[in-house]
Amino acid sequence: MRNFLHLLNSRLSKSILTLGIIFWNSYALAKDVGKGYFDDAPLSLSPELSKSPMYTLVGITDWGKEILHVYGITTIIALIVFLCVSIPILYVLFRFRATGEEQELPKQVKGNYILEIIWTVIPLILLSLIAVPTWQSIFRQDKAVKANLQDKNALRIEVVGYQWWWKFVYTDFGVITANELILPENTPVVFSITSADVIHSFYIPRFGGKLDAIPGKVNKLTYVTPALKSNSGPEGDYYMGQCMELCGLSHALMRFQAVIRSQEAFQDFIKSHNQPPVVTTASEKRGEEVFNLCIACHTIAGTPSANLPSEKIGPDLSNFGDRKTLAAVTRKNNMANLKAWLKNPLRFKPGSLMPDLQLTDQQIDDVSAYIQFSTAKNKD
């Protein structure tokens, strides 16, 4: 109990500090109206909240910063208005309490047109302060989409939402992957976002706002990917994303990751992705056979599974061995989790279309080895 109180105490103090910092940051952002953008440094100072991988107040792309700019101005204005309302309320409540001994009625004021006009006009002015940057940023994003669609250097990626995972198609390279979105640093990207079944929503908070993945409609989103962090390893930087629109039973389990890599690493990924898997051990060999049960829904590039004409309803597994996670970024990718998933997919993800194939333990071991090790492109 004491520990808990201690925790509460320290967290609470940190949170109050966080609030202060958010407000300070908003002020810092608003100060900069029309002068360019802050980088993420001041916002990421917030000690507690920003630890969350989905923290929304860190924009590290051009679009993300643009949004934060409007965000900051709006927050400041909202706070000013809040003070303008709460201070008079508190004052009134303390100043004008009834004592019970009043002999006279208070002054019966029925209204004051001048005052009322004032508090109509001032909000209008404050609103225009929000409205103009809002309006500008909407149209800037619209222009950026049009420009980047024409840009030869831009990367075009088709994002398709499925119940409950994400497909990423690199249209210019014929590369398809799932749930881990690998991006080169400092490159303009245009996402064409749509859905294969119900409405989903594509959101990587640190890169900017969300946009819905709607069946029968393509939404376009663009930004320049951030640079690699100074301390990032060979695998690059990971950024959390998640589906934000209620899309059925396992909506909460529809996560994904964006991975920022260097230009070279990205080119390696593109080149190696469609190479056939390298089968070495006997177990992997047996697993390759077992995988034939999976090819109606799953593809591994360079194998017969890639030659089926039908639309695959399961995630592409071509580079599965390189992925850090499985089941739409809900579990760490290791043999134990993979076997557990194959054993009972619905335990991991209620309502998933992945059936329990009733594989024997031996088969599960083999196919896991095949999927896990043969497909790894970067592990040699």
Partner 1 sequence: MATYLPKTGILSWLTTVDHKKIGILYGASAFFFLIFGGIEALLMRTQLILPNLELISAQTYNGLVTMHGTTMIFLFLMPLISAFFNFMIPLMIGAPDVAYPRMNALSFWVFLFGGLLLNYSFIAGQVPQVGWFAYANLTSKTYTPDHSVDFWILGIQIVGLASLISSINFFVTILNMRCKGMSLLKMPIFIWASMITQVLLFLSLPVITIALVMITADRTFGTGFFDPGLGGSVVMWQHLFWIFGHPEVYILILPAMGIVSEIIPVFSRKPLFGYPVMVYSVTAIGFLGFAVWAHHMFTTGLGPWASTFFSLATMMISVPTGMKIFNWISTLWGGQIRFTTAHLFAISFVAMFTIGGLSGIMHASPPIDYHQHDTYFVVAHFHYVLYGGAVMGLFGGIYYWFPKFFGRLLSERLGRWQFWLYMIGFNLTFFPMHFLGLQGMPRRNFTYAPDQGWEFWNIVSSIGAYITAVGALLFAFNVIYSLLRGQKSGPDPWDGRTLEWSLESPPPEYNFAAAPHVNQVDDWWHQKYVDGKKVSPPYQPTQPDSPPHLPNPSFWPLVLAIGVTLLATGFFFSTTGIYISGFGALVIIIAAYGWSYETP
| Chain residues 210-239 in contact with partner 1, contact rule CB under 8 A | 210-212, 214-217, 219-220
The DSSP annotation for 171-207 comes to: TTTTEEEESEEEEETT-EEEEEEEESSS-EEE--GGG
SS3 labels along 342-360:
HHCHHHHCCCCCCCCCCCC
Does 351 contact partner 1 by CB under 8 A? yes
Please report how close the Cβ of residue 150 comes to partner 1 at its closest, in angstroms. Answer: 18
Scan residues 233-292 and list those touching partner 1 (CB under 8 A): 240, 242-252, 255
Does 205 contact partner 1 by CB under 8 A? yes
Closer CB to partner 1, 49 or 359, in the complex:
49
Instruction: Report the chain's terminal Cα–Cα distance, integer Å.
Output: 51
- Among residues 93, 152, 231, 380, which is the contact residue for partner 1, using CB under 8 A? 93
Closer CB to partner 1, 201 or 299, in the complex:
201
Does 29 contact partner 1 by CB under 8 A? no
Closer CB to partner 1, 14 or 285, in the complex:
14
Does 307 contact partner 1 by CB under 8 A? no
What is the β-pairing status of strands 219-224 and 175-178? unpaired
Does 135 contact partner 1 by CB under 8 A? yes
Dist CA 221 CA 209 (whole Å): 9
- DSSP β-bridge partners for residue 202: 211
DSSP reduced 3-state for 158: strand
Closer CB to partner 1, 209 or 302, in the complex:
209
Tokens of 223: 């930004």
Site mask for partner 1 (CB under 8 A), range 136-175, x = bound = -xxx-xx--------------------x------------
- Among residues 32, 151, 158, 197, which is the contact residue for partner 1, using CB under 8 A? 197
Q: Which stretch binds partner 1 (CB under 8 A): 101-109, 176-184, 263-271, 337-345?
A: 101-109
Task: State the DSSP code for 311.
Answer: P
Q: Which stretch binds partner 1 (CB under 8 A): 100-108, 174-182, 261-269, 335-343?
A: 100-108
Reported as type and span, the H/E element at residue 112 is none
Dist CA 155 CA 225 (whole Å): 10
Q: Nearest CA to 192 among 160, 146, 240? A: 160
Does 67 contact partner 1 by CB under 8 A? yes
